[in-house]
Amino acid sequence: QSALTQPASVSGSPGQSITISCTGTSSNVGGFNYVSWYQQHPGRAPKLMIYNVDNRPSGVSNRFSGSKSGNTASLTISGLQAEDEADFYCSSYTSSATLVFGGGTKLTVL
Amino acid sequence: QLQLQESGPGLVKPSETLSLTCTVSGGSVSSTSYYWGWIRQPPGKGLEWIGTIYYSGSTYYNPSLKSRVTISVDTSKNQFSLKLNSVTAADTAVYFCARRYSSSFSFDFWGQGTLVTVSS
């Protein structure tokens, strides 16, 4: 199964908003509302930030939001902060009853 | 508080079998609300889902690894395990175990990860 497509890198200044895209197909992102987003700091385990497209787990800042349109899901971070600098991964359930991750996006806070 | 801890050899020889165990504390692998999974990350690269298991023993595997992977659960020890056979250098990675809520396909709790290097 092919990985979901994410931009390799995005950047923004403190206080700004950024959006990371995650493009799949109708067999994964477009076909199910089971897109998740993870944040990973260097040397650490990933942390769940968004599940089921637009739901935030308890304890995750409301500066993080998710959405989906067709075969593309998006993660938006508003009010960018220095500690948001990390790698971000999307994942999706697939029609083969499997999971697939995106290639990852490095967020740099300028 | 839920904790997941991976354990197993950090070095495996090519063509041999990689074996890892994830010990769950503060929760039960027998819970009907959760699935349990393995994810790996080669050095400097992205995440790859390996597979998921339910307490009943139902398993789901990444098609690209399916022929070499076995995930099992031991409810008496509150553990689940990963076996990957015929390993090569391409299997060198940090291996994470994680919990997945049954009504979503996301992993909400992760172990710290363990680096497994395949080398002679």
- Whether residues A96 and B63 touch (CB distance < 8 A) is answered with yes
**Taking residues B66-92, what's their average pLDDT?**
97
pLDDT tens digits, residue range B3-16? 999 999 999 999 99
pLDDT digits (tens, 9 = 90+) for A40-93: 999 999 999 999 999 999 999 999 999 999 999 999 999 999 999 999 999 999
Q: Mean of the pLDDT values across residues B70-77? A: 96
Q: What is the pLDDT of residue A41?
A: 98
What is the C-alpha to C-alpha distance for residues A83 and A96, in angstroms, rounded to an integer? 36
CA separation for the pair A4, A11 (Å, rounded): 20
Please give the residue of chain B at the shortest CA–CA distance from A33.
B104
pLDDT attached to residue B103: 83
Q: Residues A17-31: what's their mean pLDDT? A: 97
CB B107 to CB A46 under 8 A? Answer: yes
Strand bridging mode A18-23 / A72-77: antiparallel
Residue-wise pLDDT for B97-109, tens only, equals 999 988 889 999 9
**Interface check A66 vs B, CB under 8 A:** no
B83: exposed, middle or buried (Cβ count in 10 Å: 0-12, 13-18, 19+) = middle
**Which chain A positions have a beta carbon within 8 Å of B97's beta carbon?**
none
- Name the band, by pLDDT with cuts 50, 70 and 90, for residue A2: confident
